[in-house]
Amino acid sequence: MVGYKGTIGILTGGGDVPGLNPAIRAVTVRAIRDGYRVIGIKRGWAGLVDLVRDVQADNRAHFEILSEDVVTRAGRRGGTFLHTSRTRPSHLPKEAVPEHLRDKYTDDVNDATQTVLENLEYLGIDYLIPIGGDDTLSYAARLHEEKVKVVAIPKTMDNDVPGTDYCIGFSTCVSRTVEFTNALRTSAGSHERFLVIEVFGRYAGFTALLPAMAGAADRCVIPEYPFDMEHLAELLVYDRNRNPSNYSVVLVSEGAVPSGGEMQFESDEADQYGHRKLGGIGDRISAELRHLSVRYNSGRRVNVINQRLGYLVRCGDPDALDSTVPMAYGNMAFDLILQGISGRLVCVRHGLYNNVPLDLVIDGKKKVDIERYYNIDRLRPVFHSLQNRPAFIVTSDL
């Protein structure tokens, strides 16, 4: 575009986390000062599907031209001021097709990638910076295959994007989990109960493991290892009897599975990435612990405080790490653009800022190394042999 060195598009997809706005700010401020135009695409990939290519159309709900003032104000807050969605343009259900495209996409599930490509061209976007987890970034990898210049930034509280030690939102999630778990201890101790806290973590248990390592819980159960319910009850009774206030705490990943069981879902409805909404494993564990406690507590039942933290750990302002890492990621993404490099994911790798091929995000899942970090007999973290291990107890390798 005349008057600019180029145009950069930026979007956020999937769940919100603290740290998204600082990343948007970092890219935008640096780019504008270097002579680029920055377009904020709204509601993730939905903005690039729903946009109407007509100068007379009102597209304010789909994109906006970003300024330093806008991103500086937003950068102090959590969430994403560009909004977000779980839209997957390559698997767009008929009911999600915008009205102006209903004659074009008539199948039950549609691939609207051609429309996305046309809308990127209409906006004059030279480089696209998507910020998201492996779902959002898997579609970014698809666009890279379509010759779109993409530089991606990893975001997810679960910290499970392959290729990076750290994803935006993880530190704040761990900090909040520790904070709320410690706050709930007063009630657990007052009533001499088990405290069962369900946290995020569909396939990876980092959001339960790290708070447990920080002392927030006696035990944790994670998706990587099917746990035995009776053994958990026995361990929690043991912990409770050794506690002067007669309570014990277990952190439960939402994707944790009891031996011989299956994941717990709120409903059968799946999103466009094929994921059903998890929820309920904490309820199930709580009910069974109450029943099983009689067996291990000399015939006396132990009642349970059951709490799902949910959005409490993803709302509000970012902590220090989720304010500084997004700054670094945003600047690294722009550095790659200046070098004419695309198809990359900025990352922390082996403790150092770096970048890796974007297609790593579709090569597998990053999970807890249970042999190294999880004691399957005691259902808690391993605290020894941390010398030369990654700072976040997470490796970037698959």
Residues with catalytic roles: 158
Q: Which residues contact 99 (CB under 8 A, 6 or more apart)?
A: none
Please state the φ and ψ torsions of residue 219, each to the nearest 5 degrees: -140, 160
| Nearest to 181, CA basis, from 282, 294, 299 | 282
Q: Give 291-294 contacts, CB < 8 A, sequence gap 24+.
A: 292/229, 292/230, 292/233, 293/194, 293/233, 293/236, 293/237
Positive or negative: CA dihedral 17, 21, 24, 26: negative
Q: Which residues contact 22 (CB under 8 A, 6 or more apart)?
A: 75, 318, 322, 323, 326, 327, 330
Query: Percentage helix, strand, coil, to 5, in the chain?
Result: 35, 20, 45
How many CB atoms are closer than 10 A to CB 102?
10
**Cα 247–chain centre separation:** 31
On whether the CB atoms of residues 209 and 368 are closer than 8 A, the answer is yes
Please state the φ and ψ torsions of residue 181, each to the nearest 5 degrees: -65, -45
Rounded to an integer, what distance in angstroms lies between the CA atom of residue 277 and that of residue 4?
43
Positive or negative: CA dihedral 10, 15, 16, 20: negative
**Cα 57–chain centre separation:** 34
